[in-house]
Amino acid sequence: MKNRILTDDEIFKYFGEPLLPGDKNLISINLPYSLKIAWDLNKTVNKISCHKKIATPLQNVFNDILNQYGLKKIQELGIDILGGVYNYRKMRGSNRWSRHSWAIAIDLDPNRNGLKTKKPLAQFSKPEYKTMIDIFYKHGFIGYGPEKDYDWMHFEFGQIPV
């Protein structure tokens, strides 16, 4: 099964309605290393909330990143900077729901991988991040950067059973 950007209809069919705070489908996963909060790098989290249907793949992403890069390299590369996962909201400038409303997307290092930042300026477009991107794809995610050359911070689940 190929990873791809899912349609809104597919998202609604597989994940249901966007998750309201406290929804039973919103669960926490433990991270194998701390993530710094992008807007306050002095604060860290050891857990993140995501949709229960992607909890295992997302956990596996972080485990594999740690195994491939090691903590020191993760920190050097800024792979440990969290921009967010769950956020009940519409997409900017749109009437459509953000994938973050289902907690099926994660943003990393948003300051260096902004919404409109393209290669070669986007940090994650550089060769040293290819392994990280491959890990996301291995576990069923897609990245807007590799797919569309914008929003390089954004990785969302892109695989549903047929």
- What is the model's pLDDT at position 157? 97
Q: Which two tokens stand for residue 161?
A: 């059973």
pTM assigned to the model: 0.96
Rounded to whole angstroms, the Cα distance separating 79 from 153 reads 10
In the chain, where the domains are located: 8-157
Nearest by Cα to 85 from 52, 49, 55: 49
* Positions in the chain whose pLDDT score sits under 50: none
pLDDT tens, residue by residue, 70-85: 999 999 999 999 999 9
pLDDT tens, residue by residue, 11-33: 999 999 999 999 999 999 999 99
- What is the model's pLDDT at position 92? 84
Task: Domain 8-157: state its class.
Answer: alpha beta
